[in-house]
Amino acid sequence: MGLTVIILAAGQGTRMRSATPKVLQALAGRPLLGHVLDCAAALAADDVCVVYGHGGEAVRAAFPEAALRWTLQAERLGTGDAVRQAMPETPGGNRVLVLFGDVPLLRPATCRRLIDETPEGDVAVLTVDAEDPAGYGRIIRRDGRVSRIVEQEDAGPDELLVREINTGVLACPGDRLRGWLDRLGKDNAQGEYYLTDVVGMAVGDGVAVHGVKADDETEVMGINDRKQLAEAERALQARLVDELMEQGVGFADPGRVDIRGTLTCGKDVYVDVNAVFEGDVVLGDGVRVESNNLVRDSRLGAGTVLHSHCHLEGATTGENCEIGPFSRLRPGAELASDVKVGNFVEIKKSTVAAGSKVNHLTYVGDAEVGAMVNVGAGTITCNYDGADKHRTTIGDRASIGSNVNLIAPVTVGEGATIGAGSTIAKDAPAGQLTIARARQRSIDGWKRPVKKGTK
């Protein structure tokens, strides 16, 4: 039997107080809906349908490459109506799993249990034992199976003591679901079609309804406001860090790290406090990340040390590099092995070959730096002429003195030395000393200007 996953994502999320649709609010650097789509993909569903509404075009535009079926719920008439909108194109004979775009922490393994532990012709609802069940529909069982779901306002004294609640996640045969959805009414306080009414219909038709419990409340929490979003963020971060620690990654404080994407680590990696990883980040064996760093879409080679207060984006390093503190590597920065990039150095769209050092207060942009080069403090590759970018090439074993301006396009030959304070606008020959600065002189009798009226 095939599997259709229907994700309900039409809600406005007014309690977010945001122009961004609720399902596009960021959790660990990705939209809430993205996490739910990952869950559906992990289940290998052959049909995934997203029911959208508020902010619909923005929601669709956020996932342009996803193999999805999109269904518009023009009027928000309840969860039952939302699922009904998706049913006409649902493949016949498929089992249907209903998920929610604002429930991002649900694990694929939990959904798989919901499906695998339920006979194909039966219905399954995902439940959880709540610490405080107030406000939620209670699961009433008879002989172990779900007999009905009682909403808070309709529950009697004994039913109010029940801690097992309905999460809304439902799995059932698609053909039967079609019939139940067609029978839904909206004779209720909200004037909406409730998906939960399907449970009562199934029981009435003699179909077994199984209640499968999630491991904890956090996994099934819905996101409706900023506070819940922040709680989900910390819960997901704890989950991601736990998984990495199980793989052998060391953290100074697991509660003070943020992973907003994918972090892949080798052996003996250590991460200090307040590190933020965004996008696709790979840390090789023995990499050490000190405190207060942001690393985005970058790869650090084995043995590399990232000192405190650095900002890396789109950068790649070889083995045993040393970066920082207070360094910035921008997109296209490629360091070979044993490269040293020191404090207040910025490198952009440049390659730095093995063993070279760029230690202090330097900007290297649109450049090719050879091997075993030493770049002095205050050096700038002047790559922009106001209209176009130009490249600087520095040969192997060159030595660039402090406070040097290299006006691109320019080439510094192998083994060349550039004297401190020079402005180099022409190619510097290999193996020679090149100096370009005004002759020093002292003016006899010169006096510093003073303000009028002062002695």
**Would the CA dihedral through 247, 252, 255, 260 be positive or negative?**
negative
Instruction: Report the C-alpha gap between 178 and 376 in whole angstroms.
Output: 73
Read off φ and ψ for residue 230, nearest 5 degrees: -65, -40
The backbone region for 55, taken as left when phi is positive above 0, alpha when psi lies in -120 to 50, beta otherwise, is left
Token couple for 288: 């050490």
Q: What six digits make up the tokens of 305?
A: 């040390």
Q: Which two tokens stand for residue 128?
A: 């959880």
H or E segment and range at residue 175: helix 174-182
**Is there a contact between 347 and 329 (Cβ–Cβ < 8 Å)?**
yes
Q: What distance in Å separates the CA atoms of residue 298 and residue 293, rounded to the nearest whole number?
A: 12
Q: Is 309 assigned a catalytic role?
A: no
What Å distances lie between residue 248 and 190, 241, 244, 259, 354, CA to CA? Answer: 51, 11, 7, 16, 29
Residue 7: half-sphere exposure toward Cβ, Cα within 13 Å:
27
CA angle, 336 then 340 then 346, to 5°: 90
How far is C-alpha 393 from the chain's CA centre?
A: 36
Active-site residue among 54, 210, 311, 360?
360
Give the Cβ contact number of residue 91 at 10 Å: 12
Q: Return d(Cα 98, Cα 121) in angstroms, integer.
A: 16
Residue 419 corresponds to which amino acid? G
E-strand ranges in 204-304 read 209-213, 250-251, 257-265, 270-271, 275-283, 288-289, 294-296, 299-300
Active centre residues (catalytic)? 360
